[in-house]
């Protein structure tokens, strides 16, 4: 609303100012009127085209969202699906499932449990093998995810554990991040999903430690995905990762709320929309 008001004010000034300047330099009234009307027409057409592009982009996003939701529902069997404001977007999850299938992903590590954990476990069940290990700092939420996995007979394909936050130094800064000290030191993962810690707690760079702490956990064909990548904090995280990990291959994908991909092998990026 505020943005629209500012835009309207600037459009009004852009319409009036040229005519006012001409009048100040002694131009005739007819010329002033013609220039003012001409500027107004140009601005109205430009704003109309801008609004048209915004509407089309919104429709395209909604269509992609709907296709993702339908695709997920079609493969979820009877698993109840509830998309919330904080859950991974269905179009993002559809892309994740595509990568799991195409890259023959078998070992998945997830930071931040929930519906995505259940659906990733279900995707692994469809391939016939694999396991997703999901960590959450919220004991109650991890318990709900574990119950959902058990209820859907996905216990052999997925697990939710509690990992409380601890103080660490990572990426050149102090942070509160998951305590993964009990994770098997030899464990390597084909896919790492970073959907936590939540940024709404006040730290916009809360997810920065992920790649610094988990780079050595990626398999030789491993891929790390950072969700919500269009937010300001995540954009800064992506910039720092690009700078500090020249051995990896990166791509920002305009899907859902944004997905930033870090891959050991460049070929994995071929699966992603450009």
pLDDT tens digits, the chain, 274 residues: what are they?
Answer: 555 556 556 656 656 777 677 677 777 877 767 767 776 677 777 766 776 565 554 444 444 444 544 455 546 566 666 656 666 788 888 899 989 999 999 999 999 999 899 999 999 998 889 999 999 999 999 999 999 999 999 999 999 999 999 999 999 999 999 999 999 989 999 999 999 998 877 899 999 999 999 999 999 999 999 999 999 999 999 999 999 999 999 999 999 889 999 999 999 999 888 7
Question: Cα(137)–Cα(51) distance, rounded to whole angstroms?
Answer: 42
Would you list the DSSP string of 3-33?
HHHHHHHHHHHHHHHHHHHHHHTT--HHHHH
Model pLDDT, residue 56: 52
pLDDT at residue 83 in the model: 58
What pLDDT does residue 24 have? 79
The pLDDT value recorded for residue 59 is 45
Q: 181 φ, ψ to 5°?
A: -65, -25
> What per-residue confidence (pLDDT) applies to 70?
46
């Amino acid at each position: 609303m505020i943005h629209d008001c500012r835009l309207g004010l600037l459009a009004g000034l852009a319409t009036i100012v040229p005519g006012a300047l001409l009048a100040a330099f002694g131009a005739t009234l007819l010329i002033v009127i013609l220039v003012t009307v001409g500027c107004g027409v140009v601005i109205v057409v430009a704003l109309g085209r801008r609004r048209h592009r915004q509407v089309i982009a919104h429709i395209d996003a909604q269509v992609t969202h709907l296709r993702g939701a339908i695709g997920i529902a079609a493969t979820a069997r009877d698993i109840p699906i509830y998309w919330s404001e904080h859950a991974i977007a269905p179009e993002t999850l559809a892309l994740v499932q595509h990568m799991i299938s195409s890259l023959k992903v078998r070992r998945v590590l997830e930071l931040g449990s929930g519906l995505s954990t259940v659906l990733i476990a279900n995707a692994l069940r469809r391939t016939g093998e694999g396991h997703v290990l999901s960590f959450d700092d919220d004991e109650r939420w991890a318990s709900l995810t574990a119950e959902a996995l058990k209820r859907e007979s996905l216990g052999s394909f997925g697990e939710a554990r509690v990992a409380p936050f601890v103080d660490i130094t990572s990426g050149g800064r102090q942070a509160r991040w998951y305590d993964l000290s009990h994770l098997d030191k030899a464990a390597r993962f084909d896919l790492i999903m970073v959907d936590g810690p939540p940024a709404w707690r006040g730290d916009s760079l809360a997810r920065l430690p992920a790649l610094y702490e988990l780079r050595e956990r990626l398999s030789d064909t491993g891929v790390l995905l950072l969700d919500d990548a269009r937010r300001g904090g995540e954009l800064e995280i992506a910039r720092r990762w690009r700078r500090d990990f020249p051995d990896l291959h990166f791509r920002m994908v305009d899907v859902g709320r944004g997905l930033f991909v870090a891959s050991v092998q460049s070929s994995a990026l071929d699966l992603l929309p450009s």
